[in-house]
Amino acid sequence: MSSLLLTFAVAIFVGGALKDFFQAVTRDLVAPLLAIFFPEAQATVAGLTVQVGPVKLLIGDVIAATVTLVIAMLVVTFTLPYIKSYAPLRGAGRMA
């Protein structure tokens, strides 16, 4: 039971670190590339807006969150089969 709890704690810690990593990739790599196409964003996605009649929609944060989510889902999709083969869930009962 304690090894399962430790595994869960490590997963939470690694998840937080990965969240920070994906946000940094979005902020520091993807956002400047988007600024090439949208110069008014001033090298950040947060400045992107869309004017629809009298309404100004702030879509920058939504784009940043979407890119972060897509990156995270790609990492999970491509790494999960390897993680499952390395540490199967039923293997937790085998203690040396």
Domain ranges within the chain, ordered by starting residue? 2-88
Alpha helices in 2-96 (DSSP H): 2-25, 31-37, 60-86
What does the pLDDT read at residue 35? 72
Q: Residue 89: its pLDDT value, please?
A: 59
pLDDT of residue 7: 75
Position 40 scores a pLDDT of 64
Work out the angle between the directed axes of helices 60-86 and 2-25 (0-180°, nearest 10). 140
Q: Are 35 and 26 in contact (CB under 8 A)?
A: no
pTM of the model: 0.53
Contacts 24+ apart (CB under 8 A), 43-49: none
Taking the C-alpha atoms of residue 48 and residue 28, their distance in angstroms, rounded to an integer, is 16
Q: What is the pLDDT of residues 32-90, one digit of tens each?
A: 777 777 776 555 666 677 888 888 887 877 877 787 788 878 887 888 777 767 765 55
